[in-house]
Structure 1
Amino acid sequence: MKALTLSLALAAGLLLQAPASADTLLVDRVKAETQAMPARGQSMAQVEASFGAPERKHAAIAGPGDSKHNPPITRWDYAGFSVYFEHSHVIDAVAAKANPNEIGPKPVQ
């Protein structure tokens, strides 16, 4: 028992001396960068005036039926984020991963 206690104390001491390291999570980076992205409700013209022309503009996609229940959604891609529009106003801006190995949130299942 004394040997087990000594081993645990030694292991705890070694762990306390180990250098701390942490990964930057996508969620944490996004929180820090949200001020540099378009705000919900801005028009396409306001976004383009503030952030310049996007690298790519995707064609609008609408669901089946009338546009009231399935409005057209357009996506503009910038270097660090994508902006989603419903009709001509921002509904969301999403940060791109900094690199393929960046850790993001677990997908909802």
Structure 2
Amino acid sequence: MMRNTVGKLVWGAALSTMMGVAVAGDVLLIEKVEERMMRDLPRNGLTQQQVEERYGEPNSKHAPVGDPPITRWIYDDFNVYFEYDLVIESVLHHDAIMREVEARSEP
């Protein structure tokens, strides 16, 4: 009986801990989505020339990979992915998101 109770307590504590982590993860995900929405990132459908005119020369350009060819450009705070010549996705770097979240939370 005592062993069964201890087992339930251990599982209960583990479940509570995991739920706390899940909630913290959800909050961080929401903050990431809000941060991305507030940023001026290259929109889907822009050409490579339009991106370069608006955001400047990227730090690096990776060669196209695969078929269709996917190209990645790396900027300070985000990456831009192109299929052929058109933007298909812009992704913020994790550290850029965290800097913005921390800056907003400071008094």
Deviation at 1:27, TM superposition (A): 2.3
Please provide the CA RMSD for this pair. Answer: 2.4
Of residues 33, 36, 53 in structure 2, which corresponds to 1:30? 36
Of residues 50, 71, 80 in structure 1, which corresponds to 2:77? 80
Runs of 5+ in structure 2 lacking a partner? Answer: 1-26, 100-107
Of residues 60, 66, 72 in structure 1, which corresponds to 2:64? 60
Q: Which residue of 2 aligns with 1:44?
A: 48
Change in CA separation of 1:101 and 1:32 when aligned onto 2, cut-off 3 Å: closer
Q: 1:40 aligns to what SS in structure 2?
A: coil
More helix, by proportion: 2
Deviation at 1:101, TM superposition (A): 6.7
Specify the structure having the higher radius of gyration (Cα).
Answer: 1
1: CA distance between counterparts of 2:97 and 2:86? 30
One-letter code aligned to 1:30: R
One-letter code aligned to 1:53: E
Greater RCO (Cα-Cα under 8 Å, separation 6 or more): 1
Query: How many correspondences in the alignment?
Result: 72
Question: What is the TM-score of this pair, normalised by structure 1?
Answer: 0.58
2: CA distance between counterparts of 1:51 and 1:101? 21
In percent, how many aligned pairs have the same letter?
36
Question: What is the TM-score of this pair, normalised by structure 2?
Answer: 0.59
